[in-house]
Amino acid sequence: MCLSHEVLTAAYQGFLDQLTDAGLLIPSGVPGVYGHSGVFERVLEGFDQSITRRSAHLNAEVIRFPGVLNRQHYLKTSHIESFPDLMGSIHSFTGNERDHLGLLQKRADGEDWTQDLKPTQLMLTPATCYPLYPTATGTLREGGRTVDLRSFVFRHEPSIDPCRMQMFRMHEAVRLGSPEQALAHRGLWMELGKEILNAAGLNVECVVANDPFFGRGGRVMAVSQKEQSLKFEMVIPVATAEKPTAIMSCNYHLDYFGKAFGIHTADGQVAHSACMGFGLERVTLALFKTHGFHPDRWPADVKHELGL
Ligand code: AMP
Ligand code: ZN
């Protein structure tokens, strides 16, 4: 179905108003950036613990990176080619006292003071798995690695769709190893991810998907990604039934990160990788949409699953 822009906009604004009126989201004045209430966080953390509990048998190494990425590492990826419009670069002031006075004067005069800032060594993390690969340069141990990650990520995509945030949390599981190991990990998580979401009462559908590559060249890359079935998403209606939202993704990167960061398997091949990622805020919004805004009234099995 082809939905008109107006109908979609109204659906997004309506759901956003409901969420803010209920106090679950606290608007910041910038689209896609919200505070969350204690109830929202309790549900989000309850779901996060369900992921951990139901994947404990995979014995993943747990690593936590902050939501920033070494700028040099960022530049070893092709993010700047593929998603320039989504990036976040951190700048700060590095001048002396005289420069500082100039900066303050510009601010007072309503001029553009941001031109006086300099890039720091940091970018904002575009996806939770990015900081892992540069730390894996070299040869993997026999059997490769499975790593459990969680962080905030930044994507510059301001929107009134409450599910499209600029800063949000991803819980990922990454596999580094042979092509077979990477693909097996993705296959396993397509099943397990669905199981975890179903246990929380979310009846998702699995669809083949593509990333939002930039520009005309990007359209070719998106088609190629889809043709190769590299990305699958678990979708469910959230703001509107007509345009379901992806709340989890399963990706196969081929040897892209292995090549970019010089990661090799124990037998000397370039490592392949796969990752799965739950969008924790989106899952939480899907839970509120599906079960209502009052967790104490949710089905007993869902409350039990989420420890509520
Ligand atoms: P991706 O790396 O694009 O596959 O994203 C992983 C997961 O993060 C997706 O399946 C979504 O659940 C979630 N996600 C992606 N973009 C956003 C966004 N702008 N706001 C909130 N969640 C998002
Ligand atoms: Zn990832």
Of 71, 122, 118, nearest to 94 by C-alpha is 118
Q: Do both 231 and 112 map to the same domain?
A: no
From the CB of 277, is ligand 1 less than 6 Å away?
Answer: yes
Taking the C-alpha atoms of residue 145 and residue 177, their distance in angstroms, rounded to an integer, is 7
User: What is the b/e burial string over 257-277, where b = at least 16 CB atoms within 10 angstroms of the residue's CB?
Assistant: bbebbebbbeeeeebbbbbbb
Q: Do both 76 and 210 map to the same domain?
A: yes
Q: Do the beta carbons of residue 116 and residue 96 sit within 8 Å?
A: no
Q: What is the pLDDT along the chain (308 residues), one digit of tens a residue?
A: 556 889 999 999 999 999 999 999 999 999 999 999 999 999 999 999 999 999 999 999 999 999 999 999 999 999 999 999 999 999 999 999 999 999 999 999 999 999 999 999 999 999 999 999 999 999 999 999 999 999 999 999 999 999 999 999 999 999 999 999 999 999 999 999 999 999 999 999 999 999 999 999 999 999 999 999 999 999 999 999 999 999 999 999 999 999 999 999 999 999 999 999 999 999 999 999 999 999 999 999 999 999 99
Q: Do both 9 and 135 map to the same domain?
A: yes
Q: Do both 146 and 277 map to the same domain?
A: yes
Q: Do both 130 and 247 map to the same domain?
A: yes
From the CB of 210, is ligand 1 less than 6 Å away?
Answer: no
Q: Do both 46 and 106 map to the same domain?
A: no
> Which domain covers residue 65, as residue numbers?
5-88+126-306
CA 132–ligand 1 middle distance (angstroms) = 18
Of 85, 213, 79, nearest to 156 by C-alpha is 85
- Report the nearest-CA residue for atom 3 of ligand 1: 211
pLDDT at residue 3 in the model: 66
pLDDT at residue 4 in the model: 85
88 φ/ψ angles, rounded to the nearest 5 degrees:
-130, 120
Q: Do both 102 and 169 map to the same domain?
A: no
From the CB of 249, is ligand 1 less than 6 Å away?
Answer: yes
Ligand 1 mutation target, pool 168, 233, 250, most atoms within 8 A of CB: 168
CA 6–ligand 2 middle distance (angstroms) = 33
CA 38–ligand 2 middle distance (angstroms) = 28
Q: Do both 109 and 161 map to the same domain?
A: no
Q: Do both 106 and 137 map to the same domain?
A: no
Q: Do both 96 and 236 map to the same domain?
A: no
Taking the C-alpha atoms of residue 97 and residue 79, their distance in angstroms, rounded to an integer, is 36
pLDDT at residue 2 in the model: 59
Q: Do both 78 and 158 map to the same domain?
A: yes
From the CB of 127, is ligand 1 less than 6 Å away?
Answer: yes
Q: Are strands 231-236 and 118-124 parallel, antiparallel or unpaired?
A: unpaired
User: What is the b/e burial string over 231-240, where b = at least 16 CB atoms within 10 angstroms of the residue's CB?
Assistant: bbbbbbbbbb
Count the domains in the chain. Answer: 2
- Write the CATH number for 20: 3.30.930.10
Q: Do both 63 and 146 map to the same domain?
A: yes
